[in-house]
Amino acid sequence: MTQRILYSIFVFILLASCKSDKKEATKTIVETEVSAQDNPLIYPEEKHFKSIRQVTFGGDNAEAYWSFDDKQIVFQSNFKKWGVECDQMFLMNSDETFDSIPPPMISTGKGRTTCAYFLPDNKHYVYGSTHLGGDECPEAPLRKEGKYVWPIYDSYDIFLADLEGNIVNQLTNEKGYDAEATVSPKGDKIVFTSDRSGDLELYTMNLDGSNVKQVTHELGYDGGAFFSPDGTKLIFRSSRPKTEEEIKEYKDLLTEGLVQPTNMELYICNADGSDLRQLTNLGNANWSPFFHPSGEKILFSSNFEAERGFPFNLYMIDLDGKNLERVTHGETFDAFPVFSNDGKKLIFSSNRNNGGGRDTNLFIAEWQD
């Protein structure tokens, strides 16, 4: 699993940090009174969900992204009943659900994949894959000296493919990790994470892989970046080690191709890296951010209220770090929120309605502000 990939989110929940110190500056949550919903998939407090539909029914399903015309969705899954051993990319129409019949797989079926994202033509997508490093799924260590870790596979590169699964271009060819690519709503740039500098930083490039520019320059893991609706800003997660002990631990893990994701905050900057600032200061793991359609708020997943590392819920916060609002109210895991381009729907991953098991499924909610 890479930084935004799901091995088994339930494992993430159980093994995440027990740290619970929260900073008062952004801790206050907006309290709202809402009536109970009739839909059993919607918890009574979830006032932003007008309706909800479960899309998948087994395995770990995540990183679901809409085509620019909102007619299709690409996502990753490791559902063994679909014939895969680790994350591969699948394609669906936005009005479909998949229980017994699998959707078409549009990655190679080799190696491990992550973070697919449509191009503006709605006929191609970019994604990260390790298949050039071998046909088998690379090992996925989850623990290092008792701490939860993510592997940073140096065999990851970013590819451009059509919706039949044919790779038409390899966009990165640097030694080391290149993955976590997303596309600007303007349709002109890709942002991605790479360790080509010796640290995990954000970069942008053109849709053909040209004109690569480094965006972030501070020590720490910068990843999971998304553009604002107008393409002028980036929101991302970061672990920024401060003390000598933290810095040594971060660098030592990185030399082994690992990162520890249990303490991350959200950062925001202009698309060229200027005006960088920390958005959250909540403690624990704050990640999978995505811009609200207005461009004035960020939706993200966090366990900052958790005393034992879980649950993870969705929250929303203004760009100035104020008006923090809890959006979902589950007891397990909600993450990877992504708005449709018309702003009317939200797709996200959740452990809700999984019978108490470990499956993480996709849900599409009709959004209301």
- Structural domains counted in the chain: 1
Domain assignment present for 134: yes
Residue 300 has pLDDT above 50, yes or no: yes
Domain assignment present for 347: no
Domain assignment present for 4: no
Residue 38 has pLDDT above 60, yes or no: yes
Domain assignment present for 308: no
> Is there a contact between 286 and 261 (Cβ–Cβ < 8 Å)?
no
State the chain's mean pLDDT as an integer: 90
Residue 15 has pLDDT above 60, yes or no: no
Sequence-separated (6 or more) residues with CB below 8 Å from residue 272: 204, 213, 215
**Torsion from C-alpha of 138, 140, 114, 368, nearest 10 degrees:** 160
Domain assignment present for 126: yes
- Identify the band that residue 143 occupies on the pLDDT scale cut at 50, 70 and 90: confident
Q: Summarize the confidence of residues 75-82 as an average pLDDT.
A: 96
Domain assignment present for 355: no
For 228, the domain range is: 9-22+59-303
246-287 pLDDT, tens per residue?
Answer: 999 999 999 999 999 889 999 999 999 999 999 999 999 999
Domain assignment present for 310: no
CA angle in degrees (0–180, nearest 5) for 284-276-210? 110
Nearest CA to 216 out of 162, 151, 269, 281 is that of 269
- Percent of the chain whose predicted confidence (pLDDT) is above 70: 90
Residue 27 has pLDDT above 60, yes or no: no
pLDDT given for residue 9 in this prediction: 40
Can you give the CATH number for the domain in which 276 is found? 2.120.10.30
pLDDT given for residue 78 in this prediction: 96
Residue with tokens 């590169």: 157
Domain assignment present for 27: no
Nearest CA to 76 out of 338, 353, 257, 261 is that of 338
- Identify the band that residue 147 occupies on the pLDDT scale cut at 50, 70 and 90: confident
Residue with tokens 């925001």: 268
55 compared with 26, residue with greater pLDDT: 55
Checking phi first, is residue 3 left (phi over 0); if not, alpha (psi -120 to 50) or beta?
alpha
Which residue type is seen at 69?
Answer: D
Alpha carbons 81 and 257: distance in angstroms, whole number: 30
Residue 146 has pLDDT above 80, yes or no: no
SS3 245: helix
173-227 pLDDT, tens per residue?
Answer: 999 999 999 999 999 999 999 999 999 999 999 999 999 999 999 999 999 999 9
187 compared with 38, residue with greater pLDDT: 187
Which residue type is seen at 249?
Answer: E
